[in-house]
Amino acid sequence: MSVLRMRFLAVVSIACLALQGAAAAQGGPNLEDGADAGEPAPAAGESAGRRPATPADAESEPAAAEGEERQDDPIDIAELERRVEILAEELERLRSGEPDREVSVERARALGLAPSAAATYAQDAGVSIAGYGEMLYENYASDKTDRFDFLRAILYAGYRFNDRFLFNSEIEVEHAKEIFVEFAYVDFLATENIGLRAGMLLVPMGLVNEFHEPTVFIGAERPVTEQSIIPSTWRENGGGIYGAFDKVAFRLYAVNGLNGSAFSSSGVRGGRQKGGKAKANDFAVTGRLDFTPTPGMFFGASFYTGGSGQGDIVVDERNYGVRTSIFDVHAQVQARGLDVRGLFAQATLDDTAQLNQVLGLTGSSGVAERMQGGYLQVGYDLLSQVASTGDVAFTPYIRYEKVDTHAALAAGFTRNPSKDNTYTTFGLELKPTPGIVIKVDHMWVNNAVDSGVNQFNVNVGYAF
């Protein structure tokens, strides 16, 4: 029997005993008080259920009075019965094998969702609502205009039809005026461990793309690698399978391909089709595999491969597919206040000479054959070992990142050194409560031609 079931049995037993005691306190028979069924009826003038006082009774009066005081405490029999009924129903659900509705951080990650985005999975049935948002102030150490932007306000809306089918969605307002669907899909929970998913899906890559709530990732801005190489937030239309077995979780989807006509020397981010009238001459396959040896720690890898030409890259009457392949390896450890995250990602593109020809890009402005980036980030919650602070967290962090979107180019093109940058970010993160975060950091940007622009950032975010 599991620990959870044993706890429920214990609580039910205690509640039943309390109920019996309460019933007795309300005037039920108690044969241990000496009221024998064979005793004579009380004489005239005696109280019902009382016999004449004796010296022994006089000695026991204080104890009896004390007992009567305890019995006079108000006891809500109906409330006790209600609680016992709830516990009994929960125990029966466990015995029948019905899946637990609680969604832990690890369970949400296995589903490919940040904690708030997984609210629908915690429902027995019906509608679920959750959300998040963040605003960002950017102060640049150059003539570039500083910005103060309400980046996004998000509403998660879901509906659980029954134990097998549910709908989940993320509706996003960006920059206080642009409305997007971030994801929207139907899940079929085939078994306790396997599910099928179809709709607009988050591509299951990296540490941020699926887990992009501001209370989940560290830093006022998302890592550059997970913007240029893995173009977060990245979603496409498609379907596939996902699952979680003990310490292993996976996702495997088929989705429409990227639009290579929107690639640039800065990366593949412009090629996201975002689900709206997406070109689908070329499809792609994407997947992910993660291992969680212990709660708070996981590592894994993910990939994406498919055509990006979409029938638009035609040279000398030949159609080029511009196959785009991206992979990453990633890891995260959170233990006793320490938070360590690392990722390396690389993208390779075929037919870039033809792509650049169609796009009219030459010299050092061309789209590269290989792009890559990676980062290591370390933070430590200074309040993690101080019990009196409760849920408050205060985490200094540092991130070192290197991104090169011109790592290799086709013959006839030259590397642009301004596309090979090193980013060093130091900041502070305060969570006065787990659903609210304030992040302040400074990012130093360096490259071989000194064209990097340093910036100071302030982020205020929430999730519920």
Structural domain total, the chain: 2
- Whether residue 310 is found in the same domain as residue 335: yes
- Residue 163 to residue 190: CA distance in whole angstroms: 10
Are the CB atoms for 128 and 158 separated by under 8 Å?
yes
Domain-located, residue 33: no
Helix (H) or strand (E) holding 23: helix 3-25
**Domain's final residue, options 98, 131, 160:** 98
**Domain's final residue, options 39, 69, 98:** 98
If phi > 0 it is left, if psi is from -120 to 50 it is alpha, else beta; for residue 87 that is: alpha
- Whether residue 121 is found in the same domain as residue 92: no
pLDDT digit string, tens, across residues 180-205: 999 999 999 999 999 999 999 999 99
**What's residue 158's pLDDT?**
98
Q: Six-digit token pair at 160?
A: 């659980």
- Whether residue 202 is found in the same domain as residue 325: yes
**What's residue 271's pLDDT?**
98
Residue with tokens 């949400």: 108
Alpha helix stretches (DSSP H) within 97-134: 105-111
Domain-located, residue 36: no
Domain-located, residue 298: yes
- Whether residue 196 is found in the same domain as residue 79: no
- Whether residue 74 is found in the same domain as residue 162: no
Q: How far apart are the first and last CA of the chain?
A: 34
Are the CB atoms for 200 and 171 separated by under 8 Å?
no
- Whether residue 239 is found in the same domain as residue 190: yes
**What's residue 103's pLDDT?**
84
Q: Six-digit token pair at 79?
A: 């409330």
- Whether residue 206 is found in the same domain as residue 345: yes
293: domain CATH number is 2.40.160.10
**What's residue 212's pLDDT?**
96
Domain-located, residue 359: yes
pLDDT digit string, tens, across residues 57-109: 444 444 444 444 444 455 567 667 667 666 666 555 545 444 456 788 889 99
* Nearest partner of 202 among 229, 172, 237, 173, judged by Cα: 237
Strand-pairing partners, residue 289, are: 250, 301
Are the CB atoms for 462 and 133 separated by under 8 Å?
yes
Domain-located, residue 50: no
CB neighbour list of residue 314: distance below 8 Å, 6 or more residues apart: 320, 358
Q: Six-digit token pair at 168?
A: 């989940």
Q: Six-digit token pair at 318?
A: 């030949």
**What's residue 250's pLDDT?**
98
Give me the domain span that covers residue 78. Answer: 1-28+57-98
Q: How many residues comprise the chain?
A: 464
- Whether residue 69 is found in the same domain as residue 118: no
Q: Six-digit token pair at 171?
A: 């509706």
Exposure of 59 in the CB half-sphere (CA atoms within 13 A): 3
Domain-located, residue 45: no
φ, ψ dihedrals at 281, nearest 5°: -65, -30
**What's residue 77's pLDDT?**
76
Q: Are strands 314-315 and 147-160 parallel, antiparallel or unpaired?
A: unpaired
**Domain's final residue, options 98, 125, 160:** 98
**What's residue 80's pLDDT?**
72
- Whether residue 292 is found in the same domain as residue 398: yes
- Residue 375 to residue 209: CA distance in whole angstroms: 15
**What's residue 95's pLDDT?**
53
Burial class of residue 65 in the structure, from the number of CB atoms within 10 Å of its CB (0-12 exposed, 13-18 middle, 19+ buried): exposed
The full 3-state SS of 295-339, as one line of letters, equals CCEEEEEEEEEEECCCCCCEECCEECCCEEEEEEEEEEEEECCEE
Q: Six-digit token pair at 429?
A: 């993160």
Stretches in the chain below the pLDDT threshold 70: 1-76, 78-79, 81-82, 84-101
Domain-located, residue 44: no
- Whether residue 144 is found in the same domain as residue 92: no
Domain-located, residue 200: yes
CB neighbour list of residue 425: distance below 8 Å, 6 or more residues apart: 219, 397, 398, 399, 401, 441, 442, 443, 444
- Whether residue 349 is found in the same domain as residue 303: yes
- Whether residue 359 is found in the same domain as residue 267: yes
